[in-house]
Chains A and B, each alone.
Chain A
Amino acid sequence: MAAALRNVTTYDLKLAAPLALGFVVFFITPLVILLALSFQADPQGSHYGLTQYVNFLGDRFSLGVLGSTLWLGVKVTALTLLLGYPVAWLHQRAPSWAKGTIMLLVLLPLLTSVVVRTFAWVVILGRQGIVNASLAGLGLIDTPLKLLYTESGVVIALAQVQMPLMVLPLITALSRIDPNLADASSVLGSGHWRTFRKVILPLSLPGIVAGCLLTYAAAITAFITQSLIGGGQMLFMPMYIYQQASTLQNWPFAAAISIVFLVAVLVVVSIFNALGRLSRGYTNA
């Protein structure tokens, strides 16, 4: 029995080998090539240096794109959390037959292509779209509101598109909380709000952190939704990189801003991770 168990662990490592190999070939190697590329001083690769990085960090336009992309992620994450938490809470409190329905509604977006979902938002937010048509029909507005090709439009669409990434970890975290804790809190004299603030919210922190991390990472790299809803007026990092590489054929600069973007994202991710570890520290009873 003991021997059989030991064998399982050794096999485990071997079983992970194909994935590890794939990881090295398709992720580590391109990353190294990207890094090397970013140190080329000109597109021809005649000599090497920090030129591209100096260019990026010295350029207010480029820094602006980076800043607005990171900030976009913050806004989308905040909105997703604000809308997603009640959904997860509802799922937690719902009778079991309703749980399935809520879960299906949460997962539904994942079952359609992101392009389809994004075009749906184009239809909803457009000048002749559902929102404007309804408002005009009700006589609330004369001229159509500008929703499409605005940052608010991008934030709303991204929040909907990334919602499952927030709601699923939240549901997991909430379902791990012992229902007796809420009862204990109320019998000790707390109303609903105090119970939520003092017990439920702190204990769901691991889920909040995980959900925010996933949503943030997905939101700032969401090339399709950012470009289709944002249109030509708004430029975010993924599109910026694409333009430099494909349209302007400036591969070294594209590589350099990719690396900068990567580092910026890693910084944000490690902040989230540190928070996550903190919150998990006291919830793992």
Chain B
Amino acid sequence: MVSASPSSQASSRAASQAAPRGQTLLLDGITQRYGQSVAVNDVTLDIRGGELVALLGPSGCGKTTLLRIIAGFLAQTKGHVIVGGETVDGLPPNRRSVGIVFQNYALFPHMTVAENVAYGLDARGADRATQRAEAQRMLDLVKLGHLGDRYPRQLSGGQQQRVALARALAVNPSILLLDEPFAALDKNLRLDMQIEVKRIQRLSGITTILVTHDQEEALSMADRVAVLSQGRLEQFSPPTQIYDAPDSLFVNTFVGSANLLGGVLVDFDRGGGRVRLDAGGLIETRAPKGDLLPGARVTVCLRPEHLRVDPGAEGVETLNGVVEMGLPLGATVVHEIRVGDGSAVKVAEPRLERGLLLAPGTPVRLAPVAPRLASVFAAA
């Protein structure tokens, strides 16, 4: 089996300290069917060496399925997985050089922490001394060097997760897969571990795929975020672009919060467009997505921080409304405004600028803080 690989190779690998070693990963038109249903639909991702990519999407959108295909647990119905320029489609998991941290960590309960970490090296035929040294080095990396003799059940959740990470990294994989690795941790610990994982990933330069349905996690940790919905890739961009320039209505509403307003597209060029809102007013937007012609029904997405509330000053070509409620949320103030067509619009402003909360019933005018922030999509 795999233990046929010579121990000298393992020890020389172990000797080469963590140098940037990211392999490129190309998912080429991956489709996965379960009977009639399609779990992953023609997903293509071109991931650079050393990149940290987050797979973000709601439950059941195919994130785990995609991960299992990369790891080789599942043979995809269509498409190719290409690591470092070579297709690995025919290879079983034990020949793919992939490291994986499961959501429940999946540590071997009958082995000590050190034995867990050394497991992969042992499978590769490394000698005892190498195994011990390398396991210790990995445990030091995740700051658990003193706990090698414990059993997994004697560790806290965060410590178990670090062991899982050390175990995955010990075999020097070319790709690291993390399946919702922080889901089971409480909030403070989660932040610590996110920083920790990011640090280790930077240090080792390993190409990493992080599966999550937590948008903050995806936006804060990843170099690029792939948003999936119902098995389809919606957008694959850097976090700021996902947030500021979403490609689809789904991405706009799934990432961050958004006010959706109906309207009619008046005109547009490559730089931006203008939409007459049903609720009243003309608004300057980003260039509309998709094949839209002037006169088309559209949905405008305005993030709460894209708007400003001007009390009293009602105008003709403006979006007018009445304050329903005001909430002071620490650094920001959020107002809910009932606008002309009856829909509620949330507006978030820095509290220092806003000053006083507006009383319910106050008539107000809503104005964008800057032109061309809103996104426009064909009406759903």
Contact = CB atoms under 8 A, between A and B. Distances in A.
A78 B218 CA distance: 53
B100 interface: yes
Contact of A184 (B96, B106, B110): B106
Given A194-B3, A194-B123, A187 B108 contact: no
Nearest to B98: A187
Nearest to B177: A187
B268 interface: no
Nearest to B160: A285
B286 interface: no
Given A193-B1, A202-B110, A186 B93 contact: yes
A96 to B, nearest CB: 14
B104 interface: yes
Interface string A184-198: 111111110110001
Interface string B1-42: 111000000000000000000000000000000000000000
B104 A180 contact: yes
Contacts, number: 77
A189 B104 contact: no
A90 interface: no
B99 A189 contact: no
A282 B107 CA distance: 13
A188 B72 CA distance: 12
A59 interface: no
Nearest to B118: A188
B108 A189 contact: no
Interface size for chain B: under 10, 10 to 19, 20 to 34, or 35 or more residues?
Answer: 20 to 34
Mostly, the A contact residues are: helix
A187 B94 contact: yes
B250 interface: no
Nearest to B151: A282
A133 B162 CA distance: 64
A187 B3 contact: no
B171 A188 contact: yes
A188 B123 contact: yes
Given A178-B104, A180-B102, A199-B108, A189 B153 contact: no
B120 interface: yes
Contact of A178 (B72, B98, B100, B106): B106
Contacts of B171: 188-189
Contacts of A282: 109-110, 151
A188 B153 contact: no
A89 to B, nearest CB: 18
Interface string B131-166: 000000000000000000001110000000000000
Contacts of A203: 109-110
B151 A188 contact: no
A283 interface: yes
Contacts of B108: 181, 184-185, 198-199
Interface in A232-285: 282-285
Interface of B: 1-3, 71-73, 92-94, 96, 98-100, 102, 104, 106-110, 119-120, 123-124, 151-153, 167-168, 171
Given A183-B93, A203-B110, A285-B109, 8 more contacts: A183-B106, A188-B123, A188-B167, A188-B171, A190-B1, A198-B119, A202-B110, A282-B110
